Structure 1
Amino acid sequence: MGTEHSGSKRPAGAAKARSGAKDVAQLAGVSTATVSRVLNNSQQVDPDTRRRVLEAATKLRYVPHGAARTLRSHRSRMIGAIVPSFDYALYARTTSALQQRLDERGYALVLAEHHYDLAVETRIAGQLIERGVDAFLLVGLDHEQALFSLLEDYGRPFVLTWGVDPLQRHPSIGFDNRAATYEVARHLIALGHRRIGLLSAPLSGNDRARARGEGLRAALAEHGLGLDPRHVAYEPISLATAEAGMARLLAAPDRPTAVVATNDVFAVGAMLACRKAGVRVPQEMSITGVDNTDLGATQTPGLTSVATPVVDIGRAAADQLVARLEGGPWEPFQQFPVQLVQRGSTAPPAGLQRAAG
């Protein structure tokens, strides 16, 4: 433990010398007044000049005016959380726990989303720094290097969540996403399933989806099995898209007898698709999820899922960030356990059920 992660060269909140408007103006070959007009979205600047100023500001990682300069000696007591999407309820549970713990310590939460676009995440972080945000919670392990450079330049502590950095490059609090689907896959294999499909979010910019797919593949490989590419569907996270993805899996050749969904939204969407197609769950299709939400638990049959520590993550992230801002002791890496919760959505495949009968 320490007042700052051992890999950092400066204490939390200590910013190195950074570029100003004069540096941007010099690099772009314009006046500081022109820089101000461009960065304040004035329409009285020609497109070529605007482009040169914005390119110079990006190269110098310049965050403009007031708030950032004022905070060299004063804190705002605001923490920023940038999440992939407001639509996914589990991120709301993490940020709600974060906000409650921060409020107890006299800090406020500023919330933003980047829609799984890591370049947008970097831009939003710059905007929040400009407005005086002291520290950041980020979701996942995938981020642009430019984001880490920006936070380093402006001395803003941050913590990655929903995963733990295996290389211990950045402070992180989360759980083993690979282990979550590994456990449900082993459960399905033990029931006798050999053709197991995957219903997942797209992989780009989403290390959680990649790790959960890897967990399924690892469990299959241990038993000499593979994941048939025809039995994999990638969709944005929603009930409607999950239903559409599952409909494709149901129509696939030698369709799977079980499907691992990488979250409960996908799993419930898969159950809806089965109902529409007249495929009985679990008699003809076993379905599992991840995150153990009320959405899955209240289905008929109840969804077999994996409980993940999304509330614990929010609380621990608040404690870590406040400790770093206030010079207290803190743990840079924390991993919470996951737990398989078995319900009625899984059973042996139909052939084994008939044989047992």
Structure 2
Amino acid sequence: MPRSPDSPAPAADTAQARTPTSRARRNTGRTVLSDVAKLAGVSTATVSRVYNEPDKVSANVRERVEHAALTLNWFPNAAGRALASTRSHIAGIIIPTLDDQVFASQVSGMQAAFAARGITLVLGCSNYDPAQAIVQVRAMLARGVEAMAIVGEAHPAELFDALRLYRVPYAVTYAYREGSPHDCVGFDNHAAYVEITEHLIGLGHRSFAVCTQPTRDNDRVQARVAGIRSALERHGLAVRPEHMFEGESTIGFGRRSLRSIWQSAGEHPTAIICGNDHIALGVLREAEDLGIAIPGELSVTGFDDLAIAKEMRPALTTMRVDTAEIGRLAAQHLLDALDGKRVQHGHEVRAQLQVRQSTGACPSPVSRRS
């Protein structure tokens, strides 16, 4: 028999209405923080602490609270958290491209470190356009970002001025140099390419080609090219203008560059220094098609030490950089700044030369192709 709307609910119905998964709270139909606290068996203050200061809560309590929140389909309101604590719990990073896994690795390292402190990392991509980088930084500042990481120093002064004006701690990543006005977390691009060049000179090479990414608006590539030239100058050497190539960070660019060099008149270089592993792999593939012996006729170097670099035949001589470690160090640097700790001016991560089969002794003039 159907009951009257005014009659009391049966006991079974009442029990159902009071189950932990019920979302009818405070006449809003939404789960609230107190529901999560009740289900987890903790205070509302503890629930708040799990999301605002997770390092101050035991792993067991965090797990109970997070499980309760998941059960009730509840998550903390970002705007409410920001108003209550004067913090947004958001950090940002601007990278130049989404097409290069070295930046993805850095973002992954940062994200893990920030997540452990309950901070969300927001990603922006400038596509190597300084104007776009400024737009992205301003948008993040407008949303209350608390800390920023920016790949490279080659950005307009107004970008860094905006960060200082808003008193947002920031770090420049994937680059490190003495005398920088910024806190840098990365490696010395200039020194890395001096080492690569000296390795080849030590093998007897005196004629070089360079295939690298565009130098415009890219302080990392500028430093690398300067490192090559600096090392060569110390030995009275230089790269011929017709052997300097700038282009995309792709296998295709590497292939086209080597074909252009080998089809041109005049003496061929005995070593090619590439701006990254993708370009170098393109050179190796084209050398195979052209019948050029590596390293018998031509030595090739890359940069980044991608997983495929040591699987190639011949395996690629390259530079290894722990980009995930750069991300972790950058995040910790910014977290320390947010905590009011005295921070270092930067952190240097050493690039390590990986000598493999793609480089060898300079061929004698008799054995070289004309």
TM over 0.5: yes
State the one-letter code of the partner of 2:334. L
Q: Does 2:358 correspond to 1:345? A: yes
Give the equivalent residue in structure 2 for 1:186: 198
State the one-letter code of the partner of 1:193. H
Give the equivalent residue in structure 2 for 1:308: 321
Q: Could you tell me which of 191, 210, 217 is aligned with 1:198?
A: 210
Q: Could you tell me which of 142, 145, 156 is aligned with 1:130?
A: 142
Name the CA shift for 1:245/1:72 in 2 (closer, same or farther; >3 Å).
farther
State the one-letter code of the partner of 1:82. I
Give the equivalent residue in structure 2 for 1:155: 167
Give the secondary-structure state (helix, strand or coil) at the position aligned to 2:364.
Answer: helix
Distance across 2 between alignment mates of 1:112 and 1:295: 28
Distance across 2 between alignment mates of 1:165 and 1:146: 21
Alignment identity in percent?
A: 32
Distance across 2 between alignment mates of 1:277 and 1:160: 42
CA contact (8 A) 2:209 2:244 kept: yes
Name the CA shift for 1:87/1:353 in 2 (closer, same or farther; >3 Å).
farther
Which protein, 1 or 2, shows the higher relative CO under an 8 Å CA cutoff with sep ≥ 6? 1
Normalising by structure 1, what TM-score? Answer: 0.76
CA contact (8 A) 1:199 1:245 kept: yes
CA contact (8 A) 1:201 1:209 kept: yes
State the one-letter code of the partner of 1:275. E
Distance across 2 between alignment mates of 1:186 and 1:92: 30
CA contact (8 A) 1:141 1:165 kept: no
Q: How far apart are 1:334 and its partner, in Å? A: 1.3
Distance across 2 between alignment mates of 1:352 and 1:77: 63
Name the CA shift for 1:72/1:190 in 2 (closer, same or farther; >3 Å).
farther
Unpaired runs of 5+ in structure 2?
1-78
Distance across 2 between alignment mates of 1:166 and 1:192: 31
Q: How far apart are 1:179 and its partner, in Å? A: 1.3
Provide the aligned C-alpha RMSD in A. 2.1
Distance across 2 between alignment mates of 1:78 and 1:315: 16
CA-to-aligned-CA distance 1:45-70 (integer Å, 9 cap, x gap)? xxxxxxxxxxxxxxxxxxxxxx8xx7
Give the equivalent residue in structure 1 for 2:222: 210
Give the equivalent residue in structure 2 for 1:270: 283
Q: Could you tell me which of 238, 255, 270 is aligned with 1:257?
A: 270
State the one-letter code of the partner of 1:184. I
Distance across 1 between alignment mates of 2:324 and 2:365: 39
Distance across 2 between alignment mates of 1:71 and 1:211: 44
Q: How far apart are 1:332 and its partner, in Å? A: 2.0
Q: Could you tell me which of 113, 116, 119 is aligned with 2:128?
A: 116
State the one-letter code of the partner of 2:328. R
The number of equivalent residue pairs is 288
Q: Does 2:340 correspond to 1:327? A: yes
Unpaired runs of 5+ in structure 1?
1-66
Q: Does 2:232 correspond to 1:228? A: no
Distance across 2 between alignment mates of 1:114 and 1:181: 25
Q: How far apart are 1:165 and its partner, in Å? A: 4.3
Normalising by structure 2, what TM-score? Answer: 0.74
Distance across 2 between alignment mates of 1:285 and 1:354: 11
Q: How far apart are 1:243 and its partner, in Å? A: 2.0
CA contact (8 A) 2:176 2:189 kept: no
Distance across 2 between alignment mates of 1:193 and 1:268: 20
Distance across 2 between alignment mates of 1:181 and 1:274: 23
